[in-house]
Structure 1
């Protein structure tokens, strides 16, 4: 009866006994697709032949230059991606068990081997090795994902906000790319004079480089604000930093900064090539600063970003966000929400509820960073 070894394999046989080696070769010739066999008599010869092409290794652990588990460990180290099948004698069956515990996929007693058993053992060893490698990759991926999540969560800011007169909420959500941290960034800082400063920005592109650049810009923004450097001087410094840190000249950044006066009744905006904030004030919902103050950072060296002054009054809510929100597809087809659609949703909901708003727009195709500020009368 022929064996069931049906795929052509590249196999290395490490066996110093000519008779045993001949027996293995004869048995494997009966397979449906006889493997390509390379036979060596020692571990020294095996070192030169254990290349990436070898898919399975049959090894006798009684070799002239190494024996027992010492020989097995070297084979496993030399061929980490190959299945390893140990050949033992009747009196050494316990060695085969120890070999499996040490990392071999299986063992065979030479005196009990026939063509069918040998072919099946090789096939099963290959499948076990594939499963072992897949499990290792899965564990490594899970560990990497956990470490990345810890790192990325640590890079998200904690708002420096002392007043209780303003409700503050943020959301940072990945789009279809699935990473926790992208080029979007946000931050909120209250300075010693009582003014509240907010930024939401978006570095164009996706990936770790853009995420790192977004974090650098966010930290620079916070440092500049705390140092009292706001307005256009701050934006020019961020523009200089962006040009120094970006990987390519076509990388640009949009952002919106808001400074709320200490009395919380008025705000100053600078909309830097970014979607305008949505303001709810006296029952009216609108996008403020509809025309950007100026172009994105990183495009023009002589750009200017004039301030937009906005009266707020006693009771108001303001939503700053990145374009992941307005580029979300809503309803049937591929229609995007857009700024007008966002204003309509807020109006229909009777105010800004971040979770309800995000759940309504459905699947995000781009990353989203959002900051909601709300003031209610005392």
Structure 2
């Protein structure tokens, strides 16, 4: 049965304009028709076909443009305020859903033009019966939904490709040849699932030195992610070009100054330069959280020579902190997304003390796993375990991005 949502019918039974109805299984139709007789005929055709609809009738295109919250529009091309294909183009330009042209203008050319302009179908009034009109409406609605699904899929694919490009730039494969040096990296995107401004890299030079970087662009969003990718790429370029380690952060700051979208954007970073004999390292701090020397017990590395963040307009550079690394050692570098995670959803943050405790719990589990494991078992990935444990403490995806780099020797 045809259900027409109207303000009322006059004495002759013709529909008058009224609000759009919406029910499950019911097709919401907007009829744009200035002729009373033709409007009545459309209602009868839909009723004869048994198509359940909520029908709204308006007499002009201007009225129609205010009533587009429907599934399908039946559009006459001869209206008081619009004629021909121009009426259809105005309707589609306003964001109309599926449109079936239902008009007295016959001719193959008119139909081709209407479909080419974006109509789902073209019907001539004198050649339409209930079954044809009902089928055209159903097919038009379905085709429109498929088009929207295809567009959504395309947007999703484009977004995935953009994310993949950012991943390649932000999350590189460490370029290290020394298979005796333990190198582990990890990354967790923030709550929205998109990559942010955190970045890392690890590169081994021909002389045997290994340089590692962890950085964090302040802020969140695509601009910060793009800037992080740029800085990471610039850092690797400087390292591979043989730039002295003491000059790298200063040159990286110059790249930041040219590439940032706003002058207040800054970046924190930690850079570690491990000597070829793996017995010492130079630590450069640019306003970044201090790395851990893993234990047990784990502890913060020395912080006497901490430098300012990159992009902050104050005096001061970046002097290295010499680390003497006796015997076996492991150093964990990270971004503040781990520190800012909450504890069980409350106001308390994990912080440095909490992260140290997490790391030591994971280390204890790692030792037990190593003692109990068979020779062919994969080793425990400490970085992934730490990220997993912090996420568990937080109770879900982290609010901020988190990047982690682990370097180890002889452990």
Is TM more than 0.5 here?
Answer: yes
Does residue 266 (structure 1) correspond to residue 284 (structure 2)? The answer is: no
User: Could you say what secondary structure the match of 1:59 adopts?
Assistant: strand
Q: CA deviation at 1:86?
A: 3.9
User: Could you say what secondary structure the match of 1:211 adopts?
Assistant: helix
Alignment partners' CA distance in 2, 1:221 and 1:161: 15
Determine which of 312, 316, 336 is the counterpart of 1:299. Answer: 312
Alignment partners' CA distance in 1, 2:213 and 2:97: 56
Q: Which residue does 1:176 correspond to in 2?
A: 191
Question: Deviation string for 1:246-266 (max 9, x for gaps)?
Answer: 110110000000001111011
Q: Which residue does 1:78 correspond to in 2?
A: 117
Alignment partners' CA distance in 2, 1:332 and 1:182: 22
Determine which of 33, 37, 45 is the counterpart of 2:83. Answer: 45
Q: Say if 1:326 and 1:338, in contact at 8 Å, map to a contact too.
A: yes
User: Could you say what secondary structure the match of 1:303 adopts?
Assistant: coil
Does residue 197 (structure 1) correspond to residue 211 (structure 2)? The answer is: yes
Closer, same or farther in 2 for the Cα pair 1:237/1:301, shift >3 Å? farther
Alignment partners' CA distance in 2, 1:228 and 1:76: 62
Determine which of 315, 326, 345 is the counterpart of 1:313. Answer: 326
Closer, same or farther in 2 for the Cα pair 1:24/1:121, shift >3 Å? farther
Q: Say if 1:317 and 1:374, in contact at 8 Å, map to a contact too.
A: yes
Alignment partners' CA distance in 2, 1:24 and 1:168: 76
Q: Which residue does 1:94 correspond to in 2?
A: none
Q: Say if 1:11 and 1:55, in contact at 8 Å, map to a contact too.
A: no
Runs of 5+ in structure 2 lacking a partner?
7-18, 21-28, 45-52, 61-75, 367-381, 392-396
Q: CA deviation at 1:58?
A: 3.8
Q: Which residue does 1:100 correspond to in 2?
A: none
Question: Deviation string for 1:109-151 (max 9, x for gaps)?
Answer: 62446xxx96x66874675365234312321233213322432
Q: Say if 2:341 and 2:350, in contact at 8 Å, map to a contact too.
A: yes
Question: Deviation string for 1:297-344 (max 9, x for gaps)?
Answer: 001253212211111112011111111111122335232211111111
Closer, same or farther in 2 for the Cα pair 1:49/1:220, shift >3 Å? same
TM-score by length of 1: 0.78
Alignment partners' CA distance in 1, 2:255 and 2:390: 34
Q: CA deviation at 1:10?
A: 5.2
User: Could you say what secondary structure the match of 1:35 adopts?
Assistant: strand
Q: CA deviation at 1:272?
A: 0.7
Q: Say if 2:31 and 2:56, in contact at 8 Å, map to a contact too.
A: no
Matches within 5 A, 1:273-352: 273-280=287-294, 283-290=296-303, 293-350=306-363
Does residue 36 (structure 1) correspond to residue 72 (structure 2)? The answer is: no
Q: CA deviation at 1:292?
A: 6.4
Q: Say if 1:5 and 1:123, in contact at 8 Å, map to a contact too.
A: no
Determine which of 401, 405, 408 is the counterpart of 1:367. Answer: 401
TM-score by length of 2: 0.73
Determine which of 161, 165, 188 is the counterpart of 2:180. Answer: 165
Closer, same or farther in 2 for the Cα pair 1:326/1:186, shift >3 Å? same
Runs of 5+ in structure 1 lacking a partner?
15-20, 91-108
Closer, same or farther in 2 for the Cα pair 1:182/1:332, shift >3 Å? closer
Alignment partners' CA distance in 1, 2:311 and 2:267: 7
* Stretch moving more, 31-40 or 244-253: 31-40
